[in-house]
Structure 1
């Protein structure tokens, strides 16, 4: 949803500013929206939480363990089920009538049904947190250190002479590249991960950076 800077401010004041964050898991989306919702007049909606609660899990770790890695038995079926759940949860989140909703989407929102993506493009000001080169290695480490359910969408393959873990680390950048292009097409504005993950950058500066240039 294209907005001018004046329209952004006016909608925020009126309580009708609808913002959605997109980007890879562990790139700082949840951290940033939590900071924004704490400081500013936003109602935070976490799609991941809606999904794992619907599955009957009580944490993100349990959700990640259920989905598993792309080389585990039954992964493709769980991946398809996860996307179906994500589509329903994102549709519900985007349909909210709360004041200034701020939707923290999952990293795999780009694989949801087209009507959900159209809702994002039409009704929401979409902010993409881009994983910069300095943080690619961090994402690979975090995938194992702090597991989150990850949709591979066919980008994983067992490589000759590599273990399953080594294959994941080799394939991960290809998944990031594919997703980056899809996130960018959805976004109204892009913020670099170097800003989002820099502890010296105040939340007020991030809020101002969200706004259109003119």
Structure 2
């Protein structure tokens, strides 16, 4: 949704601002969304929670274990189910009539059905939290230490000289790059994760970072 700074403020004051945060898992979306909801009274909708509730998973770890890795048996079928559930959950979040809606999307929101993604882009101010290059290694490690379900969308391939896990690490940058292009394509605003995660960035500065340039 293409709006200027004046429109941003006007919509916020009327309780009609709609913002969607996009970006990779563990990049800082949920951290940012929670801060904004607490201090600027946004109505926060966490799509991950909607999906977990629908599927009966008590935690993100349970969800990740159910989905598995792209080299495990049945992963492709479970990936399809995840995308279907995510499409439904994202559609539900978009339909919210709450004041100043803030959607914390999943990292794979770019893979939901085209009509739902188009509805999100047309009706929400989309903010992309971009992975700073210094954070890429952390994200790779977090993928295993703090597991979340991840849609690989055919970006994983077994490398002959590597184990399945080593191949996963090797293919991760390719997934990041493919997603970067997809995120940028639908973003109204791009913010570096270095700004989001910097402890010197207070909540008021964070709110300003969200806003359109003019």
User: Normalising to structure 2: TM-score of the pair?
Assistant: 0.99
CA deviations on 1:190-211 (whole Å, 9 max, x unpaired) are 0001101112211211101111
Structure 1 stretches of 5 or more lacking a match?
A: none
- Return the offset for 1:149: 0.3
Task: Tell me the TM-score normalised to structure 1 length.
Answer: 0.99
1:31-110 residue pairs with structure 2 within 5 A?
31-110=31-110
Offset, 1:102: 0.1
SS of residue matched to 2:52:
helix
1:178 is aligned to 178
2:210 aligns with 210
Deviation of the 1:120 alpha carbon: 1.3
Q: CA deviation at 1:41?
A: 2.0
How far apart in 1 are the matches of 2:203 and 2:65?
Answer: 33
**Alpha-carbon distance in 2 for matches of 1:42, 1:110:** 23
Deviations 1:107-143 (A, max 9, x none): 0000000111111111000000000111111110000
Q: Distance in 2 between matches of 1:65 and 1:199?
A: 32
CA shift, 1:168, in A, is 0.5
Deviations 1:53-105 (A, max 9, x none): 10011111111111011111110000000000000000000110000010000
Q: Match for residue 134 of structure 2?
A: 134
Indicate the residue corresponding to 1:193 in structure 2. Answer: 193
Distance 1:155 1:4 in 2: 36
Give yes or no for the alignment of 1:155 onto 2:125.
no
CA RMSD of aligned residues (A): 0.6
Give the number of equivalent residue pairs.
214
| 2:10 alignment partner in structure 1 | 10
Q: How far 1:144 moved relative to its partner?
A: 0.3
Report Cα offsets for 1:18-38 as digits up to 9, x if no partner.
000000000000000001000
Query: Runs of at least 4 residues of structure 1 off by over 6 A?
Result: none
- Cα distance in 1 between the residues matched to 2:192 and 2:92: 28
Q: Tell me, which stretches of 5 or more residues in structure 2 are unaligned?
A: none
Counterpart position of 1:166? 166
